[in-house]
Amino acid sequence: QGGNNAGHTVVVDGKEYDFHLFPSGIINPKAISFIAQLKSYFSLYLLTGLKDWEKRLIISDRAHIVFDFHQAVDGLQEVQRQAQEGKNIGTTKKGIGPTYSSKAARTGLRICDLLSDFDEFSSRFKNLAQQYKSMFPTLEIDIEGQLKKLKGYAEKIRPMVRDGVYFMYEALHGSPKKILVEGANAALLDIDFGTYPFVTSSNCTIGGVCTGLGVPPQHVGDVYGVVKAYTTRVGIGAFPTEQINEIGDLLQSRGHEWGVTTGRKRRCGWLDLVILKYAHMINGFTALALTKLDILDVLDEIKIGVAYKLGGKRIPYFP
């Protein structure tokens, strides 16, 4: 999933749910939902209107924890970028980038750390907080208050935590099951293959199934690409088919195009087949789920981006 920076709006039986961290399957009383080796933020207790969700949620012991100071730093970094470069990345300020930075710097803390020796966890938490304070002198962190809160969370989530790799191994090799992996963020926001640097910090392409869950490649079956009948983007970044006109406004209003996490208006434009083909090159879709075709019903004519030109020549790749 990559963290609570993305959102899925799911409507079931007329009731609307906005999920940021939970797999959408949490609504289904027959499904077990699993948050894997990605990011856990303790917004788990804000879920209302669902019965017994705690009994069908499993959290991997290897999931990294997003701390409050990661979120604060995310905001400070955006302010810095704006001041230094005159533009920012347009992150959701949910602390995802800084948490991945901690992970890559090998100073991150995981669920397994939180649930084992709390003294050891506290010491490492203080070190990490201190590192960030030295980088951002204006950053204020209530270390003791945070640790007290985290200790409380630890006991609440303890019953849900499992060894994530073994859990997936058993799911794949035990009695036959239907396993659906849900991704968040679009292929073009992938840290390696997206429109860098206007991307998220995780692999939201098919490789994330293997690296995020510990699932061997041979177990990946059908791959469904979810694509709208037009193209949208939240935040900054390249968007050749964008319509900054009444067409864009129409798509935005008819399609209810607001970022689920930020509430920002989504930028809208015609369907870009070049990026769709590019996403297919990386993910190898076996099928496409085409959504929101009805939003185009009121238009007499629709346009589709079919090729890019570079230096006056058509190119077969995504530059």
**Which active-site residues does the annotation give?**
103
Is the CB of residue 88 less than 8 Å from the CB of residue 97? no
Contacts of 254-261 spanning 24+ positions with Cβ under 8 A: 254/295, 254/298, 255/228, 255/230, 255/292, 255/295, 257/232, 259/7, 259/92, 259/234, 259/235, 260/6, 260/7, 260/8, 260/9, 260/18, 260/20, 261/4, 261/5, 261/6, 261/7, 261/20, 261/92, 261/94
Is the CB of residue 190 less than 8 Å from the CB of residue 204? yes
| Partner residues linked to 10 by β-bridges | 17
Is the CB of residue 149 less than 8 Å from the CB of residue 118? no
**C-alpha pair distances (Å), 2 with each of 42, 70, 125, 150:** 14, 15, 21, 21
3-class secondary structure per residue, 30-43: CCCEEECCCEECCC
CA atoms of 25 and 181, how far apart (whole Å): 10
Please provide the DSSP assignment of 136-199 as one string.
Answer: -TT----HHHHHHHHHHHHHHHGGGEE-HHHHHHHHHHSS---------S-GGG-TTTSSTTSS
CA atoms of 229 and 241, how far apart (whole Å): 13
3-state secondary structure of 295: helix
